[in-house]
Structure 1
Amino acid sequence: MKAPTFPESIQEGTVATWHKKVGEAVKRDEVLADIETDKVVLEVVAPADGALAEIKAEEGSQVESEAVLAIFTEGASGAATAADETPAASADDGSGDEKIGDKILAPAARKLVAEHDLDVNKIEGTGKGGRILKEDVQRAVQAGTAKKSAAPAAAPKQAAAAPAFEGERPEKRVPMSRLRQTIAKRLVQAQQTAAMLTTYNEVDMGAVMELRAQYKDTFQKAHDVKLGFMGFFVKAASEALKRFPDVNASIDGTDIVYHGYQDIGVAVSTDRGLVVPVLRDTDSMKIADVEKGIVDFGKRARDGKLGIEEMQGGTFTITNGGIFGSLMSTPILNPPQTAILGMHKIQERPMAVNGKVEIRPMMYLALSYDHRMIDGKDAVQFLVTIKELLEDPARLLLDI
């Protein structure tokens, strides 16, 4: 079994997890292992019904494209492997067996007993002369009948774990994931190469919230997706990007690339780190299409199912720290893009409206931009355009 063929932009990956053990029966297309790359997690699936005979690349090891990961036996299974061991053991002199108390264990059975910390006296052997086979141990594990008593089991486990938590100030050291390393490298690169500046404004979300409250049930019935706030922001940003092409441009060396389309990346937080899948041609998308795309991206991002092509080529990015309670932040550029919009928490604040103080649902907006490409005037006007479109959503329909 070999690693998948990596895309051109990925040189190597890390074997993150083996989901199956050697000898364990698997079905065709069942996931055997995960390989973590700089951008996505790639799954390695079983080519047929069978079992792993040997693992060549252990968890944490670095592998290149099409590197050998394991030896796979087609048509084998855990039970078959155990059965195959029986005649071999009975034919030999039993030198590989081990006697524990009154019990005789086959090598594979002994390994399983150690892995699951079982009491061999509670396992009934079905081999020759009462010999305990691998399948006997597997049955005991499934039935849960061979567990050691709590007192003896607790002592060795506690002793083994003690070194990691010695002293009054315990620490735990784990290697940084490849995705986290890539994120760190790109963020530092953005700050070192771009003349990054951030401008702020605030938007009254009252009109959008009223529209959402009025039509959310009808919207969900019609489109089978909830009406959120991101759909409004994506559509408002698409319109603003058309009016300010510099904000929709990117820098390639000493060239400026102007894009005649709007591909907006939406930052999604996962346990592995932040990923930015891209919605294509957002100007022609309906709000329902945007919401469906974001829900799909969120689910697949958390499951590690996003493809490389889905995270490349964006012309602008939106990130929403408000879902975690952030009131204000300074988003960092996503190179080679020249701007990124930061959404934040909606919070009621006293505002002066027509000479009177009213409590309004307000959100701070932050636009970080590359000053090499975008002038301050254009950045401010771009953000004001988004503010005006959101405070009067009818402008999105009327294109004004």
Structure 2
Amino acid sequence: MSSLILSVSPEKVERPYYFYITKIKVYSLEELYYHCYHYWRESIDDFIMGKLEDWIKNELGLISISGQIVKIKDQYSSITDQYINFLKLIDYFYESELELLRKEIFKWENKAEWEKCKEKADYFMKQNKPEEALKWYKKAIVFDENEKIYNNMGVAFMRLGLYEDATYFFTKANEKKPNYIPILLNLVEVNMLRKNYEEAGRYLNQAAMIEDSKTIWYYYGELYNHKGMEEEAVESYKRAIDKGDDFKSYISLAKFYVRKKEYDKAKECLDKIPASSRNEVFWLEYAKLYEILEKKNLIFEYIKKSIEKNPKYIYAWIALARFYRKDKNFEKAYEAIYKAFRIDDENDEAKLELAKIQKEEGNKKEYKFSIKQLIKKWIHRYRRGSM
């Protein structure tokens, strides 16, 4: 194994290597290797297609390393052997680390093609990039039409607000695997979003015949809530809580009481959530309550707690931008909203908040452009019958 470890500083690299899936730029050989080891699933296509050795040769000028990668590909037939030997070119990893990775890659290499595509799609879903995920789910479905892919496609379309498409794929998943609770509940959710409450109730009743659980009663609470049946909604949430729901039903009850302007009851529901379950959503809901109550210091404190719990929780950054906008601190508002865009540059709520900041700051031209872009997107969705 070579002992060569070369650093190339950002100042010496005109064009960094850009990993499309992770959206990460690297400026040196070490950074490239770090990414290829820790994000191998997201790097391996770049390796297979020869993009890595091209960049190493043309941008870093490391012709020897690039040439060795080409030789490795010629020498070894399996992707696993190729990739591990590529990582061995520099003394960057312990043998024990590479052996563990070898086992992971070997399992991946021997998976069915649809599973490989699904893995990439699932990664994008975790990154809240449903449009990117759909590209890979569509590739996966060519290899194998199964309920997992259909269901996940439905979830992706639902996140995009394309509820008719989501319903189609959830229905296909249900046909492949009838009476499977997660799929039935997805059908409940999408039909509630489409205001098809009778259809939602039919699927929920079907799920309830299979199991009597906190999840089922939570969904009954949501269904009754959507239908405006307040007493039934509250009773269903309470039954979910009795069955062990220590978070979702309390959050929904808190939102319900906020709408009723019964703020003490809302606070009481939030306070009942155990400390172990107090995540970024919990702290943001508390911040929103204090926003209504105009308790400025507590709003800021609880938004910050939400961000501390999960720095990638986009809605906390949007709330922080809104907080600064209302405080007329536009510099901080822009800073917060751009951090939100780094998490998801297609988020409608973030785009709307940006437009509001632009309007209140007096940037009429930018405000009009932002609103125009949003309206175009909404019209496109409406024409697809999703709103």
TM-score by length of 1: 0.19
Q: Which has the higher strand share?
A: 1
- Which of these two proteins has the greater Rg computed from alpha carbons? 1
Q: Which has the higher helix share?
A: 2
